[in-house]
Amino acid sequence: MAQSSNASHEPARITVLISGSGSNLQALINACNTAALPDAQIVRVISDRKDAYGLKRADVAHIATTYHGILPYKKRHPDNSENPQWQEARRAYDAELAQLVLADKPDIVVCAGFMRILSTAFLDPVKGSKTPIINLHPSLHGDLIGAGCIKRAWDEYEAGTRKNTGIMIHYVIAEVDMGEPIVQEEISIEGCQSLEDLEKRIHKHEHGLIVKGTKIAIAKLERHGKV
C-alpha cells in the first residue's frame, strides 16, 4: 500500500474496477482533486470486459487501463468432475487480478459497477496489504443481496410489498454484499412507471454516492495515517 507523509500531501492512489459503461467511474474522474474528492488520483482502471466503454473514459482522462478477461483462465482450467471450471478458473483469475492491482500500490480499490464476485484469492492478498476494497451496491445493507437487485426491488414494488429501495457503498468482504456500509441512501420507487425508470433513478443517485463513499473511506485512511 502506498505510504506518504502528511507533509508531502501526495494524493490518495485509487484503482477502479469496472465492467461496463463507466458512468460511476466518470463521476470519480470528475470529482478527483475537487472539493468533492480532494487529493485523490485514479492510477488505473481495470475491466473484465474488453469492450467496456469505461476504458475509453479512462483513456480520455489519461488514466492507465488494463483489460483482464476470464476466458483465458477458463481455457487453462478445463471443466471436469475433479476440477470444476467455475471455481478453479475464478480463483486463478482473482489471484492474478490481485497481482495487477497491487503492482500499482493503490491506497484504495473501488469497485464501480464491477460485475464479478471477488473470491478470497483476490480479497486475502489485497487486504493483506492493508488496502481497503469498497463497492457500490444497488440496495441498502442487508436488504437485497447478490445480483439483480433493481429488478427484484421493482418486482416487489409491482406486487405491492415494497415502496423504497436504496444504494450503498460498503467495504468488500467474502460474504457477498455484507461488508460494513460506509454510506447509504434510501430511494423511493413511487412515481416510476417502469423498471427502466427505476434504473435511471438509481443510477442518478449512484454517481453522487460513490464519490461520497470514496471520500469517506479515504478520510478514514488519513485518520489512521495510512495515506
Among 68, 137, 170, 207, the one annotated catalytic:
137
What's residue 5's pLDDT? 38
Task: Please check whether residue 112 is in contact with residue 16, taking contact to mean a CB–CB distance below 8 angstroms.
Answer: yes
Active site residue 137: yes
Number of H helices, E strands in the chain: 7, 7
Backbone angles phi and psi of 144, in degrees to 5: -100, 125
The length of the chain is 227
Q: Which residues are CB-neighbours of 113 under 8 A, at least 6 positions away?
A: 18, 19, 20, 21, 22, 23, 24, 25, 54, 136
The model's pLDDT over 203-220, given as tens digits with 9 standing for 90+, comes to 999 999 999 999 999 999
pTM greater than 0.85 (yes/no): yes
The model's pLDDT over 60-98, given as tens digits with 9 standing for 90+, comes to 999 999 999 988 888 887 765 555 556 888 899 999 999
Helix (H, G, I), strand (E, B) or coil at 179: coil
The model's pLDDT over 108-157, given as tens digits with 9 standing for 90+, comes to 999 999 999 999 999 999 999 999 999 999 999 999 998 999 999 999 99
Q: Which of these, 141, 118, 140, 143, lies nearest to 131 by C-alpha position? A: 118
What's residue 4's pLDDT? 40
Could you tell me the domains of the chain? Answer: 12-222 (3.40.50.170)
Q: At what angle do helices 53-60 and 23-31 cross, to 10 degrees?
A: 20
